[in-house]
Amino acid sequence: MLPPGGSFIPLFTTFVHPSAQQRVAAVLQSTFLSEGKLVKEFETRLAAELGMVNPAALNSGTSALHLALEVAGVGVGNEVILAPQTFIASALTVVQVGAKPVFADIQYNTGNIDPTDIEHRITPRTKAIMAVHWGGYPCDMVEIKAIAKKHNLLVIEDAAHSPGATYQGQHIGSISDFTCFSFQAIKHLTTGDGGALCALDPEKAREVFRRRWFGIDRANSPTNEVGEREYDLFDVGYKYHLNDYSAALGLANLDGFQERMTRRRTLVEQYKEGLQKVPGITHFERKTDRESAHWLFGFHVENRLQFIRALKGNGIAASVVHDGIDNNTLFGGKRSELSNQRRFDETQIHIPLHDDLTSEQVAYIIDVIKQGW
């Protein structure tokens, strides 16, 4: 069978708003390509429209994670507790600052870090807990923050999958010490590559803005008469800022963002209803106190390889997206004894969810799945 329209249905697509062509062209025309007023405008809109606190626009989500760890003071000899169910960048940046990722188990029914598996992993070297909102569904932040407070740890959210998500009425990006977003091409809101780092503490936020540009406080380092910018570099900064032509794409893609999120929710409802009682499928848990950003639509499935083949044979992508990352040589080189993560690795699967997906395609995908595998 072929999907409606006849072409393969991918897991992700890249959304580029029709107005982006003109907006980016205007930046190219101006020849001002570096970080300027469009980056500022992009940050203003991220705060106003997505509820991010003090967002600093950066050149990637990985840069956001790295800078968050730096500004949080995580360094050599420290440990950061996180779940393996994520993309490699989450733990890689911990290693980049000289610290050690310590893996805690996930909840089998969400893929998120299990708050009950954190506390016994805390040592005098532990500096932070990193919470990854798998697929866009927010972690148990109340429980995580309580543990962090009790042990004087910082909380860093890897919110690469969850711009626009809310938790107990609060926007993701307004909850923890640091929140990191990604604007990579297949994420909800793309700038080509890009990211944002939100620091709740205004002092830390100023540090983020300074250290994303070499460690120089640009606004307060005027150029003197001989043409030299006046500053004294006193700590390590990075070349992590976003630029104006990427921001122009981001600004274009912010138009209609909420409407696209509403569409995603509608498609997810259609999936959930259509796949409610399909034998062999166990849905993830979804609590009513939080709203996922729905980057992914996933569930647990029996006979996974057959499921993937059956979908592929009918022109539909299906993918695990990521397995647990704890087996990588850099992080120790062996599968840790995390029973939920190991079970999750065996049964999790994700099916298409993106801005180009139609309800007709979703109906077709549901039909194909219902025929069995």
Ligand X SMILES: *Cc1c(COP(=O)(O)O)cnc(C)c1O
- Residues in contact with ligand X by the rule CB under 6 A: 60-62, 86-87, 89-90, 132, 158, 160-161, 182, 184, 193, 195
Please, what is the minimum distance in Å from the beta carbon of residue 4 to ligand X?
29
Q: What amino acid occupies position 289?
A: D
CA dihedral 263, 264, 269, 270 (to 10 degrees): 80
Please, what is the minimum distance in Å from the beta carbon of residue 299 to ligand X?
19
| Helix, strand, coil abundance in the chain, percent, nearest 5 | 35, 15, 45
Please, what is the minimum distance in Å from the beta carbon of residue 246 to ligand X?
11
- C-beta of 61 vs 237, nearer to ligand X: 61
- C-beta of 51 vs 61, nearer to ligand X: 61
Is the CB of residue 282 less than 8 Å from the CB of residue 174? Answer: no
- C-beta of 182 vs 340, nearer to ligand X: 182
Is the CB of residue 343 less than 8 Å from the CB of residue 108? Answer: yes
Strand 166-167 relative to strand 170-171, pairing: antiparallel
Please, what is the minimum distance in Å from the beta carbon of residue 317 to ligand X?
17
User: Could you give the strand order of the β-sheet that contains 195-199, starting from the edge strand earlier in sequence?
Assistant: 55-58, 195-199, 178-182, 154-158, 126-132, 79-82, 100-103
- C-beta of 161 vs 210, nearer to ligand X: 161
User: CB nearest ligand X: which residue?
Assistant: 61
Please, what is the minimum distance in Å from the beta carbon of residue 194 to ligand X?
7
- C-beta of 132 vs 248, nearer to ligand X: 132
User: Three-state secondary structure along 271-321?
Assistant: HHHHCCCCCCEEECCCCCCEECCCCCEEEEECCHHHHHHHHHHCCECCECC
